[in-house]
Amino acid sequence: MNEPVNRPRRRPLAAATQVAGLLALCAAAVAQTTSEAVPPAAEDAAEDAAAVPAAATPPPIVDAEAVIRIEGVAENRFNPTHGTVFFVLNGADFPTEAGDVAVLLNDAQLPSPDVSLSRRIVAASYVMPTGLNELILRSWDAEGRLMSADALVWAGDRLLVVDVVDLAGQPVAGATVTAQLANQRSVQATVDAPGGVAQFVNLPDESIAVEARHPDGRSGAVAVPPEVQRAILTLR
């Protein structure tokens, strides 16, 4: 007699459908949770941008093409103790209000009546002491940007006469004579000596180094102390 074969019992279709439905619900829940946990890239960028503080506005500066040229005085020559200095502007415009411009001499502002203003030129009348002086311009341009210019100038009212002579003490015409500030040789003046006499003006009360050269090859030099107003230079 044959034994009956024990076959595995099939799960009812309804139970299998329920299990599949539960699995689908779990998968949907996991997907929703993952989607909510990861913010979109656009939101990340917006949050990062909001976290970075806005950059401070840099102070206005004058265009690189704007240049102030100083005329009427110079750092490499002897200047008079009184006169007019000109600040000439290229690449921008000076303001229309005189109160927006200041010219200082040795840290003291020149009076308004001594300063005149146009679109490209500031002119200032000055009286400065003998010796080293500082001139400064401070101004806004027409666009509201700060501009400045300054110069260190040597001034004086001293006259120096130099007699150019040969070894016998006779005047020698035709020499070229140069006077230099003894402690700052870049400050100098060069003149001819017709008849053997050279004159220098606007010298400060400082030691002056004088050199002379003649076309025939002779030359000479002499150091002149501050109190001397006439000197003899011998060519050799």
Identify the domain containing residue 120 by its residue range.
67-155
Residue 114 CA to residue 133 CA, distance in Å, equals 18
For residues 182 and 207, membership in a common domain is answered with yes
Report which of residues 13 and 206 the model is more confident about: 206
Q: What is the pLDDT of residue 112?
A: 94
Residue 228 placed within a domain: yes
208 in Cβ contact with 156 (< 8 Å): no
For residues 121 and 193, membership in a common domain is answered with no
Residue 105 placed within a domain: yes
For residues 93 and 147, membership in a common domain is answered with yes
For residues 72 and 142, membership in a common domain is answered with yes
Report which of residues 117 and 57 the model is more confident about: 117
pTM for the whole structure: 0.71
For residue 31, name the pLDDT band (cuts at 50, 70, 90). Answer: very low
Q: How many domains does the chain contain in total?
A: 2
For residue 213, name the pLDDT band (cuts at 50, 70, 90). Answer: very high
Residues 6+ apart with CB under 8 A from 155: 73, 78, 79, 80, 81, 128, 129, 130, 131, 133, 202, 204
Mean pLDDT value across residues 54-79: 74
Residue 129 CA to residue 123 CA, distance in Å, equals 19
Most confident of 9-13, 30-34, 198-202: 198-202
Residue 172 placed within a domain: yes
Q: What is the pLDDT of residue 161?
A: 98
Residue 165 CA to residue 48 CA, distance in Å, equals 85
Q: What is the pLDDT of residue 65?
A: 66
Q: Which of 122, 137, 155 is a domain's end point?
A: 155
Residue 108 CA to residue 135 CA, distance in Å, equals 10
Q: Which of 125, 155, 185 is a domain's end point?
A: 155
How many percent of the chain have pLDDT more than 90? 67
Kindly report the CATH number assigned to the domain that includes residue 165: 2.60.40.1120
For residues 115 and 134, membership in a common domain is answered with yes
Kindly report the CATH number assigned to the domain that includes residue 119: 2.60.40.10
Residue 21 placed within a domain: no
For residues 166 and 227, membership in a common domain is answered with yes
Residue 137 placed within a domain: yes
Report which of residues 207 and 43 the model is more confident about: 207
Q: Which of 128, 155, 182 is a domain's end point?
A: 155
Q: Which residues of 31-53 are buried (b: 16+ CB within 10 A; e: fewer)?
A: eeeeeeeeeeeeeeeeeeeeeee
Looking at the chain, list the stretches that DSSP marks H as alpha helix, in order from N- to C-terminal side. 13-37, 41-51
Residue 203 placed within a domain: yes
